[in-house]
Each structure stands twice: as C-alpha cells, then as structure tokens.
Chains A and B, each alone.
Chain A
Amino acid sequence: MLGSAIQWSYITQNWAQIQADLVQHIELTLIAVGLGALISIPLAVLAWRFPVTRGPVVSLSTTLYVIPSLALFALVGSVTGYEASYLTGEIALVGYTMLILVWNTLSGLAAVPVDAREAAQALGYTNGATLIRVELPLSLPYIFAGLRVATSTVVGLVTVTALIGLGGLGQLIIYGFNANGFYTPIIVGLVLSVALAAVLDLVWVGIERIALPWSRSRRIRVQV
C-alpha cells in the first residue's frame, strides 16, 4: 500500500543527511550497549557474589526499565538540559539495557553446573579464579543473548530521542510527520532501523561464534 508512496528522488537528493542520521543512530546504539555492558555485567557479578546486593541491583534495573522512555528522557533532560545532548539520551538508553543485561548475566551465572564449580574448587581455584575462569566463561552464551536483545531494543528506542533533538533515524521520522504526510523519510527511517538491528544481530552472532566455538547450534532461553 505504501510502496508507491516512496519518492526515490528524495532519497538520492538527501543521501548525505540520511547517512549522517544513520551514523548517529549507530553511535547512540553502540555507546548505550557498550556502557550498559560495562555497568551491568559487573553489577550482576556483584549481585551474584554478594546475595545481599541482589535485591537492590535487580530493583534498580527493573525500575529503570519500567519508566517509559519518553518520560526518562524528559526526567534526565530536566537535569542535563533539553539541548540535543548525547548525555541525556545515553543516560536513559543505558538504563534500558541494564535490566536485560543484569538479568541475563545472573541467569547465566545461575545456570553454571554445580559440578563445574566444585571441580574448580577441588583443583584449588580461589573464589575469584572460579568466577573469572569457570563461571563467567560458562555464562557467556547467556550474556551474548542479552547483548543481542539489548541491541535490538536500543536500535528501536533511539528513534524516540528525536523528541529531545537527537534521534538518528528518528529525525527522518519526525521530519516526515511534520512535513504534513511525507511518507518517504518515515519509511526510510523504519527500513533502515530494522536493517541496522538485523546487521548488528548478525555481528553479535559472528563474534559469539568466534569467541565461543563450543556454543554453536545451541539454543539459549533467556529471561527478559
């Protein structure tokens, strides 16, 4: 129904802008997932090693996930300012990756076979060595599954940051809507977002296959 609505001339004439939006989309996504992983994985390990901290860690990440993205951008922006600042966008986007990454890392650690842990201890591994050499490597399939889900989620969410002046491909969407019914930029934004998520997902699968050759052809069920 919308196929005939695409104006190819718009795409060729505005290619530079579309490219710039796509690059910003990729930047916002990678920074959010990268920072999210740097914060969430250690937090999950902390929660695993010290059960007292498990409640607060899970509650914090759940709370951030439940707050609507638009609201979180507005809340953070009222402190950091509403100008198109990466800081505002990233604080909220990182918040969304946390629940997914913390839960997956915890599920991975919980799924480590007791035998493996006991064998490591029988070999004289300290608790720290068991964690780094046995438990974390065995959790990696779960962590990768979390990174994949977090990446797709963030690719979709980045468009919402258009409402605070960032947006990557979301800029095209808002432009098309405000230009009083101009389908082409919206469709370009939609298609490129989905394609970007698919490409990034394949990249994760590739990295996982190289990093964890033993996990090939396994199906991981994660809780999100």
Chain B
Amino acid sequence: MHFLRQVVDWLTSGAHWTGSGGIPTLFYKQLVLSAAVVAAGTLIGGGIGLVLGHTGRGSLLAVNAANAFRAVPTLALLTLLAIYPPISLKWNGFLCSFLALTVLAIPPILTNTYVGIREVDADVTDAARAMGLTGRQVMGRVELPLAIPFIMAGIRTASIEVVATSTLAAEVFYSDLGTPIIAGLNSNDSVEAFCGALLVAVMAGLVAISLGGVIKLVTPPGTRARGRSGSLLTSAPVVEVGV
C-alpha cells in the first residue's frame, strides 16, 4: 500500500502537472510526434501500397515488408540517427525520432494497402473500365474506397506501435511520456517509472479507442462487412506470410 500511496502522491503533485516537464506538455509532445509519424507513414506506405496494388507489381516486397521490418530494432535506428551529425539531436531530438519511427510505421500500412487493393473484386474494376474510367480513376474512385477497411486497419496497427515506441524517443532526449519512465529506470525510482508507464498505457488505450471511432467514420458503409471472414476478429490488420 505504501507504494500505491507514493504513486498517488506523484500523480497528484502539482509540480508534475505544470511547466515544460509537466504531464500535459509531455502528453502533447508525444501526440504531436506520433501524429506526424503516422501521417508520413500513411503518405509513403499508403502511396507505395496503392501503386503496387494497382499495377500488381512488387508483390513479394509488399507482402514481406511488414514481417522483415519487424525485427529492425527501432532503438538501433533511433540511436544511429541521433549520433549521425547531419541529423543528430536537431529540434531537441524530434527529427531523429520522427525518421526512426516513420521506418516503423510504413510497413504495416504498405502491406495492408497492397492487400486491400488486391482484394478488390476483379469484376468491379472490369466494370469500372468498361464504363470508361481510366486506370487512374479506377484506382482513386473504385479500388481506394473499397480498400479502406484494410488501409485503416494498417493505420491503426501502425499508430498503436508508434505511440508505444515513441516512448523510446526519451532515450535520445525528446521529452515525452517516456521521459519519466527512463528517468525512473536510470535512478531506480520505481514510483516515477511506474507513473510514466501508467500514463503511457492510458494514452495508448485512448489512441486505440479513438482510432476505432475514426475507422467507423471513414469506412464507406458498403464495405464494412468486407474481408472479415468468420467475423471472429474485427478490424484486425492483415499480415501475409509467404510459405
């Protein structure tokens, strides 16, 4: 009980809620970093996935990208960029964190976009072509909307991973909710580490839940039931594993 009391004291202490190291600022900075990374990942991963899916080329790359990149330790990319002089700790560590996390965000979005586009029924795209739509129109007006459930699932996975991993940015001096965790771990202050961890867990939960809402909003009504065989697992992103 002593430990819990200390946790409550830490969380309710006014000093932890104000100033540049206060919880609201850390929370906000982590959100900004994560949002920028997911936006960049969506532009790059979604763009490549859309083109590869439309042309049907590069399937091996698209399918295996997500799994191969899983093993790349973000900590290694982060620290490498942080000590690489042209990037180093520019913008208080934002730039290297942004770049390293974007590498993490691209693969799930790319793979899911590719799979979503490939899953579009060939009859539908044939019908669109027969009606006189050009290749680009087919891509933008038919394939893209129909692939949205898959793309959103990829964006959700990427967002959860990015929010979780952005705590590591604190190791390269970008202050976010990882800061109290790493400070606590380094000074053996389990109360501070625990409070930081608790706040990040709350944030990750909020992001996961609010993305669920966003997904409902942007999913075209006709496509909601698509691609979910068995409906056992709702809106889970897809990973294809070539055997």
Residues of A within 8 A of B (CB): 1-2, 58, 63, 65-72, 74-75, 77-78, 82, 103, 106-107, 110-111, 141, 145, 148-149, 152-153, 155-156, 159-160, 162-164, 169-170, 173-174, 176-177, 180-183, 186-187, 189-190, 193-194, 196-198, 201, 205, 208, 215-224
Which residues of B183-215 have CB atoms within 8 Å of chain A's CB atoms? Answer: 184-185, 188, 190-191, 193-194, 196-198, 200-201, 204-205, 208
Cα A173 to Cα B171 in complex, Å, equals: 12
Select B67's contact among A2, A63, A152, A221, beta carbons within 8 Å: A152
Interface centre among B3, B73, B160, B193 (most CB of A within 10 A): B73
Q: Indicate whether B44 reaches chain A with its CB closer than 8 angstroms.
A: no
Q: What bracket does the count of chain B residues touching chain A fall in?
A: 35 or more
Given contacts A71-B181, A177-B79, A224-B237, list 20 more A-B pairs with CB under 8 A. A2-B80, A68-B167, A68-B201, A70-B200, A71-B204, A74-B185, A78-B3, A78-B191, A152-B67, A163-B182, A163-B185, A170-B73, A173-B76, A177-B82, A189-B76, A190-B72, A194-B71, A196-B71, A221-B115, A223-B239
Q: Is the CB of A177 within 8 A of B171?
A: yes
Residues of B within 8 Å of A149, CB to CB, are: 67, 70, 239, 241
Q: A163-B182, A163-B185 are in contact. Are A219 and B242 (CB under 8 A)?
A: yes
Residues of A within 8 Å of B71, CB to CB, are: 152-153, 155-156, 193-194, 196-198
- A143 → B minimal CB distance (Å): 12
Q: Is the CB of B75 within 8 A of A160?
A: yes
Q: Indicate whether B83 reaches chain A with its CB closer than 8 angstroms.
A: yes
Which residues of B54-91 have CB atoms within 8 Å of chain A's CB atoms? Answer: 67-68, 70-77, 79-80, 82-84
Q: Is the CB of B237 within 8 A of A217?
A: no
Q: Is the interface of B mostly helix, strand, loop or mixed?
A: helix
- B203 → A minimal CB distance (Å): 9
Shortest beta-carbon contacts, A-B, top 5: A197-B71, A68-B164, A71-B197, A223-B236, A177-B79
Cα A138 to Cα B72 in complex, Å, equals: 32
Q: Indicate whether B9 reaches chain A with its CB closer than 8 angstroms.
A: no
Q: Is the CB of A74 within 8 A of B193?
A: yes
Residues of A within 8 Å of B229, CB to CB, are: 110-111
Q: List 16 A-B contacts (CB under 8 A).
A: A2-B84, A66-B164, A68-B200, A71-B197, A71-B204, A75-B194, A75-B201, A145-B241, A153-B71, A155-B70, A174-B79, A176-B83, A193-B72, A194-B68, A219-B240, A223-B233
Interface centre among A74, A141, A186, A208 (most CB of B within 10 A): A74
Q: Is the CB of B243 within 8 A of A72?
A: no
- A36 → B minimal CB distance (Å): 15
Residues of B within 8 Å of A162, CB to CB, are: 75
Q: Is the CB of B233 within 8 A of A106?
A: yes
Residues of B within 8 Å of A186, CB to CB, are: 76, 79-80, 83
Interface centre among A2, A69, A177 (most CB of B within 10 A): A177
A-B contact count (CB 8 A): 194
Select B164's contact among A69, A106, A173, A189, beta carbons within 8 Å: A69
Cα A58 to Cα B185 in complex, Å, equals: 30
Q: Is the CB of A224 within 8 A of B200?
A: no
Q: Indicate whether B178 reaches chain A with its CB closer than 8 angstroms.
A: yes
Q: Mark B12-50, 1 if CB is under 8 A from A, else 0.
A: 000000000000000000000000000000000000000
Q: A173-B75, A186-B79, A193-B73 are in contact. Are A67 and B243 (CB under 8 A)?
A: no
Using CB atoms, name the residue of chain B closest to A212: B243
Q: Is the CB of B237 within 8 A of A177?
A: no
Residues of A within 8 Å of B188, CB to CB, are: 82
Q: Is the CB of B3 within 8 A of A148?
A: no
Q: Is the CB of B76 within 8 A of A224?
A: no
Residues of B within 8 Å of A74, CB to CB, are: 181, 184-185, 193-194, 196-197
Cα A108 to Cα B119 in complex, Å, equals: 20
Q: Is the CB of A156 within 8 A of B74?
A: yes
Q: Is the CB of A70 within 8 A of B79?
A: no
Cα A176 to Cα B190 in complex, Å, equals: 26
Q: Is the CB of A77 within 8 A of B75?
A: no
Residues of B within 8 Å of A110, CB to CB, are: 229-230, 232
Select A181's contact among B68, B83, B194, B239, beta carbons within 8 Å: B83
Residues of A within 8 Å of B73, CB to CB, are: 156, 159-160, 169-170, 173, 189-190, 193
Using CB atoms, name the residue of chain B closest to A151: B71
